Amino acid sequence: MPIVVTSILAAFESIGNVSNLSNLGIKSITYYLSTTFIAVILGLILVTLIEPGISKPSKFMQQKINSLQESNLQKLVLDITEIVESETSQSLNSGKIQDLQKTLTKIAQGNNSADDLKQKALKLIGSLELRSKLSNDSKPTDKSNLSIKDFLLLQIEKTLINPFEALASKNVLAIIIFTMLFGGALTTIGPSKEKIFEINRAINLSVMKIIHMIMYFCPLGVFGLIAEVTSSLGIEVFSRLGLYILCVLLGLAIHLFIILPFIVYTTSKVSPKQFFTAIKPSLMVAFSTSSSSATLPINLQCVEENLKVDKRISKFVLPLGSTINMDGTALYEAVAAVFIAQLFGVSLDFQSQIIVALTAALASMGAAGIPAAGTVTMSMVLAAVGLPIEGIGIILAVDRPLDMCRTAVNVASDATGCVVIDSIEKSKSLFS
């Protein structure tokens, strides 16, 4: 929680006074948000299509699973029959009824179910429907019945009534909303905000220090986690991790070699070859240091000298970008969160995927431009959808090479933003 709050406040510190954000500021932030969301959606599509965390059993194994499933399904239907018969309408609340109905529908439509089992399931669905009508507890706050709008409104309500309760109960979304409101307000209060931002930076650094101290034990923790996962999934966990790496790299490559050059070309007519030749030194430094902040000076030089971006623009757009614009990190966080969900057998519904997209974008904006910062802020994405934080330990084993690649994408996107805004400003001055 301290990392989430202080990182978001740090992002507001770099944005400056939100009430008189300059035209340039609004344009930069709009560009940054747009490409970050493109990256997140790309990541989500890839991880859903490739399903790196889901085991696909061999034919022989599938047959075994089918026969096992058949007897398990029989038992499940028996259990549900028992529950339906023994529980009163009051004790079967709407959530429970919905859960049972979902399971039964799967059985009734499943390929692995025998016909008599399907009949039984359909009958049970009917009697549960009746129960559901009788039960009078289908409250509007039932989370599974809420639309996304109602769900977000509920979070805002919770936040505004008691942010401390949200903090204590680790309600990440509510905390993010409150911190954004607070951060935005803070930027408008005049010089005294500097003190708060200074304290915020100190807290952020101290908490980071604590995390680094804990990180000394990390190899031991990673060893334990991988051993545990390997013992349940077998050696297959390595092929899962391999697919996960492939998924992240594919997403990063599409973003770097197709989406960004396309944006550059359509807005400023700079060809992909010109663009990559110009920013090659920054890409190399980003790749070898895994740090957007360390790459900032060379990136400034590349866009100013090789791409002829106006210095007044680059001096504003790039430093802001190196702290809040991290397309590669956002893509990686979205893929990693869904991968961990798949690995732990948690299915994420549409609402949860939207929360993953939003928090991954925010977590990337809050991540500092230093190595492995994205991995730390990822805890925010996992916590927001109730996934186990230990999942980070599993992906940590392969994090460094991915960090090198995502940092290169982060830096390329900053340079793209610079070129885009420069050409918009230049065309504006031509017409005025």
The residue ranges that bind ligand ASP (CB under 6 A) are 290-292, 326, 329, 367, 369-374, 403, 406-407, 410
Q: Which is nearer to ligand ASP, 183 or 374 (CB)?
A: 374
- Helix segments in 87-191, DSSP class H: 94-109, 115-134, 148-161, 163-168, 172-186
Looking at the chain, how many residues does it have?
A: 432
Q: Which is nearer to ligand ASP, 317 or 367 (CB)?
A: 367
Q: Which is nearer to ligand ASP, 290 or 352 (CB)?
A: 290
Taking the complex as a whole, how short is the minimal distance between the CB of residue 256 and ligand ASP, in angstroms?
Answer: 13
Say how far apart CA 385 and CA 206 lie, in whole Å: 27
Taking the complex as a whole, how short is the minimal distance between the CB of residue 16 and ligand ASP, in angstroms?
Answer: 21
* CA neighbor of 176 nearest in space, from 192, 161, 195, 155: 155
Q: Which is nearer to ligand ASP, 108 or 294 (CB)?
A: 294
Taking the complex as a whole, how short is the minimal distance between the CB of residue 169 and ligand ASP, in angstroms?
Answer: 28
What 8-state DSSP symbol labels residue 361? H
Say how far apart CA 153 and CA 237 lie, in whole Å: 39
Say how far apart CA 263 and CA 369 lie, in whole Å: 23
* CA neighbor of 2 nearest in space, from 245, 206, 248, 161: 206
Instruction: Give the distance from CA 168 to its chain's centroid.
Output: 22
Taking the complex as a whole, how short is the minimal distance between the CB of residue 326 and ligand ASP, in angstroms?
Answer: 5
* DSSP string covering 396-415: HTTHHHHHHHHHHHHHHHHH
Which tokens sit at 342? 């798949």
Work out the end-to-end distance of the chain between its first and last CA atoms, rounded to an integer number of angstroms.
Answer: 48
Q: Which is nearer to ligand ASP, 135 or 323 (CB)?
A: 323
Q: Which is nearer to ligand ASP, 374 or 417 (CB)?
A: 374
C-beta nearest to ligand ASP: residue: 374
DSSP 3-state of 307 = coil
Residue 124 neighbours by CB under 8 Å, 6+ apart: 77, 80, 81, 84, 100, 104
Phi, psi dihedrals of residue 217, rounded to the nearest 5°: -90, 0
Q: Which is nearer to ligand ASP, 281 or 371 (CB)?
A: 371
Q: Which is nearer to ligand ASP, 179 or 364 (CB)?
A: 364
Taking the complex as a whole, how short is the minimal distance between the CB of residue 399 and ligand ASP, in angstroms?
Answer: 8
Q: Which is nearer to ligand ASP, 29 or 285 (CB)?
A: 285
DSSP 3-state of 204 = helix
Whole-number Cα distances in Å, 235 to 240, 298, 395: 9, 43, 15
Taking the complex as a whole, how short is the minimal distance between the CB of residue 406 and ligand ASP, in angstroms?
Answer: 5
Taking the complex as a whole, how short is the minimal distance between the CB of residue 158 and ligand ASP, in angstroms?
Answer: 30
Q: Which is nearer to ligand ASP, 163 or 251 (CB)?
A: 251
Residue 318 neighbours by CB under 8 Å, 6+ apart: 296, 299, 300, 303, 414, 415, 418
Taking the complex as a whole, how short is the minimal distance between the CB of residue 200 and ligand ASP, in angstroms?
Answer: 19
Taking the complex as a whole, how short is the minimal distance between the CB of residue 371 and ligand ASP, in angstroms?
Answer: 5
Burial of 230 (0-12, 13-18, 19+ CB in 10 A): middle
Taking the complex as a whole, how short is the minimal distance between the CB of residue 334 and ligand ASP, in angstroms?
Answer: 12
